[in-house]
């Protein structure tokens, strides 16, 4: 997130309850300003069955009261495919950090292979 200039962010997870507070505390200890760490309101067992439209709707609805963030962080793949969040990233005009995209970026960065990947969201397209 630091590579994308994200200081204040909205975190979204597929989990409910106090575990989200623990995730928020982790990021706060790392120096980030966590606007909120929210579990998307779904049955956990359905997390891998969500349609692209449902995923984008959850992201957009969670973002509305937190528009003053630099980005959105998706904790855990949780059933959100990279291609499913690109529409929301474009519509909201804010970077969305997907965990798989972040892993790909990290590996390529550590290998010294600056390889922007078009159509994979801002992190991989801009490859900061």
Judge whether 1 lies within some domain: no
pLDDT of residue 84: 81
pLDDT of residue 26: 97
φ, ψ of residue 75 to 5 degrees: the values are -90, 125
Judge whether 77 lies within some domain: yes
Query: pLDDT digits over 73-128, tens only?
Result: 999 876 777 888 888 999 999 999 999 999 999 999 999 988 888 888 999 999 88
CB 126 within 8 A of CB 115: no
> pTM here?
0.91
Domain CATH for 23 = 3.40.50.1860
Range of the domain at 57: 6-126
pLDDT of residue 45: 80
CB atoms within 10 A of CB 15: 19
User: What's the number of domains the chain is made of?
Assistant: 1
CB atoms within 10 A of CB 56: 21
- Burial class from Cβ neighbours inside 10 Å (0-12, 13-18, 19+) for residue 9 reads buried
């Amino acid at each position: 997130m630091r590579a994308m200039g994200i200081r204040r962010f909205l975190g979204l997870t597929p989990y409910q309850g106090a575990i989200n507070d623990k995730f928020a505390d982790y990021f706060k200890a790392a120096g980030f300003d966590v606007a909120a760490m929210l579990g998307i309101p779904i049955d956990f067992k359905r997390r891998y069955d969500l349609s692209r439209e449902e995923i984008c709707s959850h992201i957009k609805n969670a973002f509305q009261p937190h528009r003053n963030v630099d980005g959105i962080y998706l904790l855990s793949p949780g059933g959100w495919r990279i291609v499913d969040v690109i529409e929301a990233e474009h519509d909201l005009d804010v970077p969305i950090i997907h965990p798989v995209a972040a892993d790909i970026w990290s590996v390529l960065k550590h290998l010294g292979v600056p390889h922007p990947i078009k159509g994979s969201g801002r992190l991989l397209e801009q490859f900061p």
